[in-house]
Structure 1
Amino acid sequence: MQLELIRNILGTPFYETDNCYIYNLDCLMAMRKLPDRLVNLTVTSPPYNIGKEYETPLPLEEYIEWSKEWTHEVYRLTVDDGAFWWNLGYVEVKGKGKAVPLPYLLWNSNPFYLIQEVVWHYGAGVAAKKMLSPRNEKFLWYVKNPIKYTFNLDKIRDPNVKYPNQKKNGKIKVNPLGKNPSDVWEIPKVTSGNGRSSKERTPHPAQFPEAVIERIVKACSNPGDIVMDPFMGSGTTAVVALKHGRKVFGFEINEKYCEIAAKRIEDFLDEVRHSSAQVSLFTLIND
């Protein structure tokens, strides 16, 4: 019903399929039209204001003000036990710093309660000559209610336990499902280039690996929940949300990236249909 309500308010999406809408709209303008307490989880990576091909850099003060505006809308749209995961990189602050982490400037720019910062360490990237080579980005994990919020730890436990049979007072000490992942996530980037391109690679220049978003979606939402991505990009959030039984909608101001996201979702759905057909055929053969 909530997705239908979104469609009634915003009109026909650029792309739609069951449980998924993508709008070729400015997210701030679109979110302002939607009612309160609509979204269970928001996962997004807005432009970092560093001059990438998909952004027009703003003066830093304007960028901070714009960030306040759209994150306040995310807060308004979030249900009481919902969450907001915000990916942030680095920016130069004139006269002060070359690679200042954006969380230093933005962590308290909205009404959410900050649970913690999560470091995504990706292991490969730009090689620097006059500074250490950057190899991480940050996520800020916010909730609306610091006492009651969705966190499904058992869904994301790390099975790689160093001492799985360790006991205390005769009982196995560790959880049989694995250990609690730390706040540093070792997940490779989506690579490009001949002979080394990731399987999930699209033409988008700043694509998330599905493994990062998958951990967030599984931990901070439940099947049937609504996930939003205000900066949809290549559609990673949408694919992961659909893969795990969530409903999803989002916004992408660049039509080219809307097309990339739509194709990626269709390719995923084709794989699902093909796998289902194979299972059905196998069942018939063995009946």
Structure 2
Amino acid sequence: MKPYYQDEYVVLYNDDCRNVLPNLKGSYFGWTDPPYNTNKNYGVWNDNLPNYEYLIFCDYWISQYKSLCSEICVFAPHKYFLDYWQMLGREYKPIILTWSPEGAIRNGFINQYAGLLTNAKPKKRTKDVWHNLQLPGLGWFFKEEKYGHPGYTSQHLTNQVLLNLAEESTVILDPFAGTGTTLKCAKDFNRKAIGIEISEQYCEIAAKRLSQQVLPLFQ
């Protein structure tokens, strides 16, 4: 497999994760924000599959992911939260992400939370409710650059996941790398990571982000 981008910290593959995951070796920490099947326009990916097709797809990549990662954290979609929990396993625990601003209306309710599922043991004192992180659900209050990605994963959230749940020495693996947020955050923390992204357009954006000078972070 030839990487789309590679440096001393990170590797990015431009491919379907179902082609790459079976060829990886080693043990990783898994952090990912997968497609939610909510009809977003990703270009090369159909985000409006019949439910059964989407769940078959999820069952496959989750199975491959679990074989590579001893600890995993997944940003699970509302609609399929229970399905993800069942596929990941009973040992996984939710972390609830809440925010104060009123979000979108879903099934008549004003949305003010999202959820992670993880089997990772916290590496520092960590609460199971994370409040007012920068998340796209904040709408106008979300200030991060989204790089034109309809399912952008926030850098603020990714930093919290890596700092609280991942061992510093463990390579991070993200099979839905998007515009490279996971890889960028890992690199900023001098950690190693592997990302897989099916869209060449988003790989190009990720490569540009990753080639920029790493700036020190205030933790």
Structure 1 vs Structure 2: percent identity of aligned residues? 23
Q: Does 1:186 align with 2:164?
A: no
In the alignment, the residues of structure 1 paired with residue 142 and residue 157 of structure 2 have an alpha-carbon distance, to the nearest angstrom, of: 18
Deviations 1:61-108 (A, max 9, x none): 111111111011011112xxx3111111233xxxxxxxxxx1212212
Task: Report how far residue 199 of structure 1 moved.
Answer: 4.6
Q: Does 1:74 align with 2:45?
A: no
In the alignment, the residues of structure 1 paired with residue 161 and residue 32 of structure 2 have an alpha-carbon distance, to the nearest angstrom, of: 11
Q: TM-score, normalised by structure 2?
A: 0.85
Q: TM-score, normalised by structure 1?
A: 0.66
Deviates more, 1:114-123 or 1:82-91: 114-123
Q: Does 1:87 align with 2:75?
A: yes
Of 122, 143, 152, 1:207 maps to: 152
Task: Report how far residue 246 of structure 1 moved.
Answer: 1.4
Task: Report how far residue 151 of structure 1 moved.
Answer: 2.8
Matched residue of 2:190: which SS?
A: coil
Matched residue of 2:163: which SS?
A: helix
Runs of 4+ in 1 over 6 A off after TM superposition: none
Contact 1:113/1:142 (8 A) holds in 2: no
Match of 2:183 in 1: 238
Task: Report how far residue 192 of structure 1 moved.
Answer: 7.7
Matched residue of 1:218: which SS?
A: helix
Of 35, 42, 47, 1:47 maps to: 35
In the alignment, the residues of structure 2 paired with residue 66 and residue 130 of structure 1 have an alpha-carbon distance, to the nearest angstrom, of: 25
Contact 1:31/1:73 (8 A) holds in 2: yes
In the alignment, the residues of structure 2 paired with residue 222 and residue 129 of structure 1 have an alpha-carbon distance, to the nearest angstrom, of: 36
In the alignment, the residues of structure 2 paired with residue 133 and residue 243 of structure 1 have an alpha-carbon distance, to the nearest angstrom, of: 35
Q: Which runs of 5+ in 2 are unaligned?
A: none
Query: How many residue pairs are counted as aligned between the two chains?
Result: 212
Task: Report how far residue 129 of structure 1 moved.
Answer: 8.6
Give 1:23's aligned amino acid. Y
Contact 2:134/2:142 (8 A) holds in 1: no
Matched residue of 2:87: which SS?
A: coil
Match of 2:97 in 1: 120
Higher relative contact order (Cα pairs below 8 Å, separated by 6+ residues): 2
Q: Structure 1 residues 243, 131: closer, same or farther in 2, change over 3 A?
A: same
Q: Which runs of 5+ in 1 are unaligned?
A: 1-9, 92-101, 144-149, 155-179, 276-287
In the alignment, the residues of structure 2 paired with residue 107 and residue 199 of structure 1 have an alpha-carbon distance, to the nearest angstrom, of: 29
Match of 1:19 in 2: 9
Alignment of 1:99-248 (within 5 A): 102-110=80-88, 112=89, 114-124=91-101, 126-128=103-105, 131-143=108-120, 150-154=121-125, 180-190=126-136, 198-248=143-193
